[in-house]
Structure formats: C-alpha cells, structure tokens
Amino acid sequence: MRYCQGTKCHTYDTKDRKKGSKDNKRNETRKRTNFYYGNNNFCSLQCQTDWFNTYGDNAINHFGRVEQPIVLTEDNAWQTVWNRAHWDDNTQPEYIERNQITKAERPCQQPQQGR
C-alpha cells in the first residue's frame, strides 16, 4: 500500500478519506495499492496538479531546467515504426526504423511478440 503524494489529498472531502469516529474524526490522504496517475503516485489528476503547484518549480530546478532547445538531429532520430508494407505483404517485417529527420528507412530487430 502507498499513499497518494498529493499535497491537498486530505482536504478533498470524500467518504473514503474519512477516518476515526466521534472525538477523533478526520480526513486522511488516500492509501491504495495502485494509483492511475503520475507514474503510480497520485490518486487523481487534481492531486498531481496540486503536487506540481507546490513542488514543480523546485523539482525542475533540482533536476535541471531546460534552458535551450533539446535537438533531434539525423543521428538520434531513428524510431521504430509500423511497416506499412507489411499490410500488403505479410512476408515483410512488421516494424522498420524510420529516421524522423531524413525519412530514411532501415530494417530493425522485430519487437518480441507478447503472446
């Protein structure tokens, strides 16, 4: 089990956040096995946004703010893409690599079929 990392999670008034009884009633941060947002860290997009509003600038500055464009050039532009030719001729490989700058294509290792 893990807690939602949202900085205001406990302030959203829902039944599942309510804990305690009578003299120690309180709302608590959500705790679950899995969360669907923010790489399994947040119970909702709102909680993810709350976290970013609180810590986002510090996090970006800590890990390195982008101060100039990140550049895609011919050398790092190869991406594995679906091979259109396979549609008409299934002896052709399912995937090829295409250079996103030059549009050149080349054969590549086929991804493992997960079956």
Phi and psi dihedrals of 6, rounded to 5?
Answer: -60, 135
CA distance 85 to 105: 12
- Candidates 101, 105, 11, 99; CA nearest to 54 is 11
CA distance 95 to 55: 40
The reply on whether position 47 binds Zn ion by CB under 5 A is yes
The reply on whether position 96 binds Zn ion by CB under 5 A is no
Strand partners, 18: 27
The reply on whether position 4 binds Zn ion by CB under 5 A is yes
The reply on whether position 51 binds Zn ion by CB under 5 A is no
Minimum distance from residue 43 beta carbon to Zn ion (Å): 3
Of 6, 17, 37, 83, the one binding Zn ion by CB under 5 A: 6
- Candidates 66, 105, 59, 102; CA nearest to 82 is 105
Of 17, 37, 43, 98, the one binding Zn ion by CB under 5 A: 43
Minimum distance from residue 30 beta carbon to Zn ion (Å): 5
The reply on whether position 9 binds Zn ion by CB under 5 A is yes
The reply on whether position 48 binds Zn ion by CB under 5 A is no
Minimum distance from residue 86 beta carbon to Zn ion (Å): 44
